[in-house]
Amino acid sequence: MAREVATTSPIPRLTTRRLVPVSASASVTTQACHGAHPTDGLGHHRRSITPENHLRFPIVNPGEGEGGLPDDVVAISVATYSDDPGAFAAYGLNGVAGPFVKFAELLSPAATVLDAGCGPGRDLARLANLGHRGVGVDLNVDFVRRARREAPTIHGDLRALPLMPGYFDAVWASASLIHLPSDDAGVALSELARVAKIGAPLGISVRTGGITGWADDMPLGRRWFYNWVSDEFTTLIENAGLSVEEVSDDGLWIDVVARR
């Protein structure tokens, strides 16, 4: 796909929550959390979800029941993909090929790779074709259902991954931090670092050259975007405990290769 650029929109007043980063020392544990549904992944609870057992945890639509997703820019943007999940799958089918090839060259054979914000699963299929064991995670329930056709996929939030520390040989986060305000992106990057093995490569891309705000004129519906500049983004990555190895910025997308 041609990757997306938002053009005009007012800068909104943010209504973000402060999320507590998950302790790196915690193995996957289960704690009771009143009101939270099993898969909302919002960090005030932990779940015993692994790629092996993830199907035992039901997918619950955001907003259902007590403890559903808060009404913020991230939740609204993620929900927009459900207007027509098939349209996004078709739109993105051939996307991100170059950065993916570069990332794939860094993988050891038969690597266990987290596709963080996997969408409908395009890159999970690519990983499987290369003999890797992809595991998806996404906050959009319709995308989780689609991605499960390709690989084990968990319904969860990048800001509080319901996954154990040091599990993954590599982490791929293609255009998945784009709806997160910068503080939340920092939390998500810490989470990606937490679940990666020491030495694991990470491929991460975000948008640049657009606007921070609601993009009402995008082909796939109303979503909120954060517009990054390279230095700000690489500093955030380093602050999350990762080493930046390579940065490419084409004025539309910033693609980073980092290392845990």
Ligand X SMILES: C[S@@+](CC[C@H](N)C(=O)[O-])C[C@H]1O[C@@H](n2cnc3c(N)ncnc32)[C@H](O)[C@@H]1O
Which residue's CB is nearer to ligand X, number 83 or number 199?
Answer: 83
Which residue's CB is nearer to ligand X, number 139 or number 151?
Answer: 139
Which residue's CB is nearer to ligand X, number 78 or number 254?
Answer: 78
Shortest Cβ distance from residue 20 to ligand X (Å)?
Answer: 15
Shortest Cβ distance from residue 169 to ligand X (Å)?
Answer: 18
Q: What is the DSSP string of 10-39?
A: PPPPP-PPP-PPPPTT--S-----TT--TT
Closest CA to 127 of 113, 144, 117, 138: 113
Which residue's CB is nearer to ligand X, number 115 or number 169?
Answer: 115
Shortest Cβ distance from residue 82 to ligand X (Å)?
Answer: 9
- Whether 217 contacts 6, CB under 8 Å: yes
Shortest Cβ distance from residue 113 to ligand X (Å)?
Answer: 13
Shortest Cβ distance from residue 183 to ligand X (Å)?
Answer: 13
214 φ, ψ (degrees, to nearest 5) = -75, 130
Secondary structure (H, E, C), 60-95:
CCCCCCCCCCCCCHHHHHHHHHHHCHHHHHHHCCCC
Shortest Cβ distance from residue 218 to ligand X (Å)?
Answer: 10
Residue with tokens 């057992």: 53
Positions touching ligand X (CB under 6 A) are: 74, 78, 81, 92, 95-96, 117-119, 122, 138-140, 143, 157-159, 174-176, 178-180
Which residue's CB is nearer to ligand X, number 118 or number 200?
Answer: 118
The CB-nearest residue to ligand X is 119
Which residue's CB is nearer to ligand X, number 122 or number 260?
Answer: 122
Alpha helix ranges (H) inside 118-229: 122-129, 141-147, 182-195
Which residue's CB is nearer to ligand X, number 88 or number 200?
Answer: 88
Q: What's the one-letter identity of residue 218? A: M
- Whether 122 contacts 92, CB under 8 Å: yes
Bridge partners for 202 per DSSP: 171, 258
Which residues make Cβ contacts (< 8 Å) with residue 15, sequence separation at least 6? 71, 72, 73
> Which H helix or E strand runs over 179?
none
Which residue's CB is nearer to ligand X, number 7 or number 199?
Answer: 7
Shortest Cβ distance from residue 243 to ligand X (Å)?
Answer: 23
Shortest Cβ distance from residue 85 to ligand X (Å)?
Answer: 9
- Whether 91 contacts 1, CB under 8 Å: yes
